[in-house]
Structure formats: C-alpha cells, structure tokens
Chain A
C-alpha cells in the first residue's frame, strides 16, 4: 500500500484545528478529499443522532412503534426500512421494556446499509468477520427470516460475549459465534456464499460519537490498512467462486477505503459491483450516497470505484461510512 497521504495544513486551518481540538493534518486531508469542509467540520461537532432498527424476529414493528410512542418517545421513519430516528426520548431508548424484549436494537443509519448491500438470502452460508456487538448480524438474521447460517467472528472475548447476549436478546437461532480471530475461519473448510467485512478502522466517520478521534494520528493508519488488507485476502479465500463480499468501514481515509478496494481488485481479482438499486436510489437528508473516489492526489483507481459509496455526516445526517460490494471471480 502507498504511504499515508499527507496534505500540508494552511496556517488558518492549523489555527482553526487548534481551537476546536482537531488534528490539522486530518482536517487538511478531509478538505482535499471531500466537498464542503466547513459543513463537514460543523457536522462532526454536533451530538450524534440516535437511530433504532426494528427487529422483525421479535414482534410486530408497528406495535413496537406504537408502544414507544405511548411512552413519550418521538420517532421518525427514515428512508431505510425498519430504521427510525429517535428525535426525543423521555428516558434512554436503550432501557425500555421493548428493547429488553429484543423488539429493536440501536444501530446507526449508515451502519444498517452494509447488510442491505449484501442482500443475504435464506439458506445461504454467510460470514460476519468482525461482528461484535452484533447489530449487523441481527440485521442479517432479520433479512433472512432467521433461515440462513450466519457465522459471526470477533476475537475479543468480552465483545464476543456481548455479541452472544445481543443475539439471544433478539431471538436469533441462525447465528454461531466464534470468539476468535476471523483468520481461524479457514479451519472451517467452508465456502461462504456471502461475507460482511466491517473492518476495524481509524473511525474518522464516528468523531461525533468519539471525540478522541478528532486527534487521530496518521502514523496509526498504516497498521489499520495492513489489517484490512489481510482481512480482504482472507475474505477472498473464504468465499466460494462467485461469492459476494461487502467491505465496510466507518472511516473517511482513502487509504482504508478506495486504496484497499483497488488493491483487492488487482491482487485477488475481485470485481466491484454496483450497489443494489435500493441503495443507488436512496436519499438520506435528500441526497444520494456520495460515490467512491476514483482519484486521490496522484493516485488513480479503477473507474468502477465510483460504484462504491460514502455516507458523509454533513451530507446525510448520520455517521460516516464507506461501502463497497465485491464479487469473487467464478473461475
């Protein structure tokens, strides 16, 4: 992989960054890669929005909405099915009886797009390689009517325990949890139909939720990128010929997004596919998803990278996210 791209910050940008607690190098990069830097920085300083995703495996969705509304929660349907913005809450939305019954789980809107991009089907063998705490695994179970085989990996024992607990709470019978690195999945000797890889990353897109990430150090990005490359190579080995991978991150760094996808296509023969029509036609805050970058500074990527997508906080009203849908060659 190329070295991390460094954009020299201007004096004005340094001054602003210092005042607001951001790394000037990060801010300079965002300004070079994405539109409307002031808007992005403003959005990153706002409290994060809260979304819930209804769980079709546990009760009628309309009944859940009715019960929450009766309790004083103000909910607004989002353009993504089963996902609602929590506009106001008389007490924590994560402490209701309905939450404890598994009728919904808390998941950011952008995060919910990854399982939708995968289009999982009943009867398939599906891998979730970095699964904890389990929101996407639960969503995959819902999308497949709990009739697929979901193998969920997380190498942190405490996070794997939380993953198991969340799956139980939401009534999932179709998931197996492996408290081990996804690299161990090769020992299964199986060929997956689909894989979701929500890769560990630098998390620039979730600054609203974790302000510490305002001070992200570029020197750490190479380690993230190395791990992501390893996981992409693993996913290629695990997939059956013609199998489908959705690669996702919550970062804005092209080294962890477009660079990774371009390399995966070159090294492993993945083909980047268009996202499903629902996502291509989706409008968040009235705007389509932002296309993947086909050029960053002096680096040109496969033209098909435009079919990848970014969710950007200032354009879409939710946390930052990146999605790419990749097909393993048939032969």
Chain B
C-alpha cells in the first residue's frame, strides 16, 4: 500500500467535485486523514488516519490486507464508490441523492428494486443510466443504485448496485 500520487489525487478530486467544490480537501481536514491505494487495476482507495499512515510508512516490510476506510476504486479516470465512500460523501453533499420512504428503504436493504412510488425526492440531474445515492435520511446513504427510468416514475425506478444490507448477507 502507498499514498496516492499527486496525479492520482487530482483525478480523485475531480471526481469528487461533482459533489461539491474542494470536497476531498475538506474531507481530509475533517478526518485528519489521507488517501492511500494499492498498485492494482482497478486501484482500491482508502481513507487512512494520519497516525496510521505514519505507521504504514514505517513498516514497508509487512503490508496490511486492508487499512483505513475503503472508499471505492479508481479505474482510469473514474472513481467507483463503495458503500462507505458513498456514505462519507453523503454526509457532506446533497448531490446525487434520491430520498426514499420507509418501505423503499426496507426493500432496498434487501437488495430489491425501488419503486417510483417510494421516492420522496431526487437530484434533478439524475438521468436514466446514472448512479445515484439512496438514502432515507439525507445524511445517511444506504447504498448506490442505477436509474432505470425518469424519476420518480412508476414501478421499478432504481436498481440496487450496492446496499448496506450486504453487511448482513455477506459482510461478516
């Protein structure tokens, strides 16, 4: 594992700009953390507390299996967010969210499609094929979904891509 390079950081920052100006810098300051990655394709991205980063730098002889909070993967110029990446972004940004009611949230956490009737509000920029953050409360993203039809729509409108119910089904 290693800290991201300046070039990698610039790509990640550009991706996060869609959720608010300078989000990455604010994020790093608030959490006193930095981004780390591994040499792989795609590259996993981790938010690593500063003290842990210092320890990892001093211990190159034994690499951890994982470190910090897994935020997603960098694939070329695109970041694909993990559940925790989406959660952390959702705490700081209104962009890209679809708010659902209790029923929609419950179904989503079972990995089921969200019906248009369950949608309370959505980012106007959400288009068919785009990936949105699903939440019941504005600052608690429950996962990511793909838009199936113009929102809110009727019937299946959002297809789950990753939901926090995964932690029960497979997480351990």
Residues of A within 8 A of B (CB): 94-95, 97, 100-101, 122-125, 133, 146-151, 158-169, 171-180, 184-185, 187-190
Contact = CB atoms under 8 A, between A and B. Distances in A.
Q: Chain A's interface: helix, strand, loop or mixed, by majority? A: mixed
A205 B72 CA distance: 40
A293 to B, nearest CB: 36
Contacts of B45: none
B40 interface: no
A57 B68 CA distance: 14
B54 A149 contact: yes
B162 to A, nearest CB: 12
Contact of B165 (A100, A161, A162): A100
Contact of B172 (A146, A166, A171, A173): A166
Contacts of B52: 148-150, 173-176
Contacts of B67: 175-177
Shortest Cβ-Cβ A-B pairs, 4 listed: A162-B172, A174-B49, A165-B171, A176-B64
Interface of B: 31-33, 47-52, 54-56, 58-59, 61-62, 64-70, 82-84, 87-88, 105, 109, 136, 140, 142, 164-165, 167-168, 171-172
A21 B70 CA distance: 46
Contacts of B165: 100
8 contacts: A133-B172, A164-B65, A169-B164, A171-B84, A174-B49, A175-B52, A176-B52, A187-B62
Contact of A125 (B55, B64, B70): B55
A172 B69 CA distance: 6
B49 A168 contact: no
Contacts of B55: 125, 149, 151, 176, 190
Contact of A147 (B51, B64, B83, B142): B51
Contact of B51 (A123, A185, A188): A123
Nearest to B140: A101
B59 A190 contact: yes
Given A150-B52, A190-B58, A169 B171 contact: yes
A172 B136 CA distance: 23
A223 to B, nearest CB: 26
Given A149-B51, A174-B51, A188-B59, A97 B105 contact: yes
Contacts of A97: 105, 109, 136, 142, 164
A66 B165 CA distance: 22
A158 B165 CA distance: 19
Nearest to B136: A97
B69 A160 contact: no
Given A101-B164, A174-B49, 11 more contacts: A101-B142, A149-B51, A150-B52, A166-B171, A167-B69, A168-B83, A169-B84, A171-B87, A173-B31, A176-B66, A177-B64
